[in-house]
Structure 1
Amino acid sequence: MRYGYLGPETTFTHQALLQALAAMPEEAAAQVEAVPFSAVATATTDLLAGDIDAMMAPIENSVEGGVSGTLDVLAATDAITIVAEQVVQISFVLAARSATALDQIEVVSSHPHAQAQVQGWLRNQVPQAHVAASSSTAAAARDLAALSPDQARGRAAVCSRLAAEHFGLEILAEGIEDYEGAQTRFVLVTREGRIPARTGADKTTLVIQLPHNRAGALLEALEILSSNGVNMSRIESRPIGDFMGRYSFSIDLEGHIEDRRVAAALRSLHRLCPVVHYLGSYPRVDGQRADVREDFVDHAYDEAREWVERLSAMIAPA
């Protein structure tokens, strides 16, 4: 089994994959080869082609919100399925090839999402530094470590402590994130199309496109969820790309497609929306169960269906 992740080694995505493997049976985890990729889109292409069996990708950050690259890739196809999630605590360090005074730092490299989470610290501590983008936090550390001492002079990277130590960098400052306790959520994606069994503490992820130029279409979609007692834990809009003003909505729901209330909501969304991408139902990593009202539990739907069927049986032949 080959599992892809946003590389190189020691990225937060790599840490999320290691957490997922640690939760697997030892024999199964031993059969997994971790394969680094430079971008989520590249890993998705290989996943769809069958070159890898699964991939771990960041989807949401507690500070920055949704990870647009992952959301757009997931919205582009219904041939992949989310089967699990992981949450990683995020903390950053500023690292360099050798000990350097902060006022001598001229360039700081990192992934844009990491930059956004330390921008306050960078503004206050290294206001003179130019901020450059890298494909990942670990790539910023790796690329800095590969430079000669002269080339690395005045350069630093924002990365994890693990990445700095792995690539032999000097840590200049740690705990530089603007929000202590920040977390990033990752999803494990496969192409098998198999849905994990309901656990009672689950999430369902989907992407919908609303009817074009129909007033109140978003409200209708939200009312479908509300009328079935389905709570959202995330909703984000992303441009569809065909022309201005057209957006899709990426949504996380509390519950599993096997829950009657979730299934009923999906059926109604399918009637309303021209496009519904179902991306999977999977266990919540925190194990938290949804607080479901009595009239939305499974047996309430079953009893209502049976009641209508009894009434329908009384209809006289035409």
Structure 2
Amino acid sequence: MRYGFLGPETTFTHQALLQALAETPEEFAAAEPELVPFSAVATATTDLLAGDIDALMAPIENSVEGGVSGTLDVLAATDSVVIVAEQTVQITFVLAAREATPLDQLTTVSSHPHAQAQVQGWLRKNVPGTNIAAASSTAAAARDLAAVSAEEARGRAAVCSPLAAKHFGLEILAEGIEDYDGAVTRFVLVTREGRIPARTGADKTTLVVQLPHNRSGALLEALEILSSNGVNMSRIESRPVGDFLGRYSFSLDIEGHIEDRRVAAALRSLHRLCPVVHYLGSYPRIDGQRAEIREDFADHAYDDARDWIERLSGMITPTDPATAI
């Protein structure tokens, strides 16, 4: 198995992938996995669809910044991938440089934009006026800083994980610089379409839907479909479709598995309402939390209702073909 991740080594995505592999079932651990770093989720997804890698770990949501737009947009662009697992990583950042440097002598701080957003308060307070530069990942910021000459590195620093700073031999100037203690990022393990993990009873389903255009109350209708089937929604985010201004798709996480009757019934109704429904997978929740389900939304309630209708349908008088209208 070849696993892609947002690289280089020591990114938070790399940590999430290592966690996932430690929990990999035996049938997927027959051979030593090969870990392949990528500079962008879009590039990794292209290789996944081409069959060059077998799975991809990507960040999808942060407890401070919300959804990771790059991942959400890539997943929304194809219905040929499926999420099979999730992982969470607690996030902490350090400010690191090639050598010990007073903060007031720093001129440039680089990191991934999503990381920058999580430390912007600290940066404004402690290194005001410093140029903030974008990197493809937090680890890439540390790696690139370690690779330049001592002269080029003067006045430069990187926001990265403590592991990345240590791995690339950087000097830590400040620790715990995140604006919110206990921030967590959620990652998803994505494969090509074809395998849905079995129901565990503590599951999550991810969808991307596009609502009917210029139909008043369409979002309310979609939400009522979930509510009327006892399906709780744990995340909803809007993303522009891109064809013209004002058109949005919605990325949803709902509690439950497609094998649950209530979830399947909701998906059938959404499919009738929405011109586009991308099913992105049902997979075990990393926290193992089971949804609280009312008795009338349990599987047997749907099965009993189906059997009742079938019995009634069997009582319908057959139509005489000769008199049929």
What range describes the TM-score normalised by the shorter chain of this pair? over 0.9
Deviation, 1:27, is: 7.9
Amino acid at match of 1:201: A
In 2: Cα distance, 1:71 partner to 1:100 partner:
38
Residue by residue, what CA displacement relative to the aligned partner does 1:27-46 show, whole Å, maximum 9, x if unpaired?
84452100000000000000
Which ranges of structure 2 fall in alignment gaps of 5 or more residues? 320-325
In structure 1, what is the equivalent of residue 161 of structure 2?
Answer: 160
Deviation, 1:312, is: 1.1
In structure 2, what is the equivalent of residue 122 of structure 1?
Answer: 123
Residue by residue, what CA displacement relative to the aligned partner does 1:105-141 show, whole Å, maximum 9, x if unpaired?
1100000000000000000010121111000000000
What is the DSSP-based 3-state SS (H/G/I as helix, E as strand, rest coil) of the residue aligned with 1:207?
Answer: strand
Deviation, 1:204, is: 0.4
What is the DSSP-based 3-state SS (H/G/I as helix, E as strand, rest coil) of the residue aligned with 1:267?
Answer: helix
Amino acid at match of 1:176: I
Matched, 1:261 2:262: yes
Deviation, 1:192, is: 4.1
In structure 2, what is the equivalent of residue 34 of structure 1?
Answer: 35
Normalised by the length of structure 1, the TM-score is 0.99
Higher-Rg member (1/2) = 2
In 1: Cα distance, 2:234 partner to 2:11 partner:
26
In structure 2, what is the equivalent of residue 299 of structure 1?
Answer: 300
In structure 1, what is the equivalent of residue 91 of structure 2?
Answer: 90
In 2: Cα distance, 1:155 partner to 1:190 partner:
38
Q: CA RMSD in A?
A: 0.9
Amino acid at match of 1:204: T
Residue pair 1:105, 1:128 contacting (<8 A) in 2 also: no
What is the DSSP-based 3-state SS (H/G/I as helix, E as strand, rest coil) of the residue aligned with 1:78?
Answer: coil
Identity among equivalent pairs (%): 85
Amino acid at match of 2:9: E
In structure 2, what is the equivalent of residue 10 of structure 1?
Answer: 10
Residue by residue, what CA displacement relative to the aligned partner does 1:272-316 show, whole Å, maximum 9, x if unpaired?
000000010000011000111111010010111111111111111
Once structures 1 and 2 are overlaid, which stretch shifts more, 246-255 or 308-317?
308-317
Runs (4+) off by over 3 Å: 25-30
In structure 1, what is the equivalent of residue 106 of structure 2?
Answer: 105
In structure 2, what is the equivalent of residue 287 of structure 1?
Answer: 288
Residue by residue, what CA displacement relative to the aligned partner does 1:1-42 show, whole Å, maximum 9, x if unpaired?
100000000000000000001112578445210000000000
What is the DSSP-based 3-state SS (H/G/I as helix, E as strand, rest coil) of the residue aligned with 1:131?
Answer: strand
In 1: Cα distance, 2:79 partner to 2:24 partner:
26
Normalised by the length of structure 2, the TM-score is 0.97
In structure 1, what is the equivalent of residue 64 of structure 2?
Answer: 63
In 2: Cα distance, 1:27 partner to 1:151 partner:
48
In structure 2, what is the equivalent of residue 22 of structure 1?
Answer: 22
Which ranges of structure 1 fall in alignment gaps of 5 or more residues? none
In 2: Cα distance, 1:227 partner to 1:26 partner:
39
Residue pair 1:87, 1:184 contacting (<8 A) in 2 also: yes
In structure 1, what is the equivalent of residue 322 of structure 2?
Answer: none
Amino acid at match of 1:256: H
- How is 1:184-199 mapped onto 2 (pairs within 5 angstroms)? 184-199=185-200
In 2: Cα distance, 1:31 partner to 1:275 partner:
39
Amino acid at match of 1:245: G
In structure 1, what is the equivalent of residue 145 of structure 2?
Answer: 144
In structure 2, what is the equivalent of residue 216 of structure 1?
Answer: 217
Amino acid at match of 1:186: F
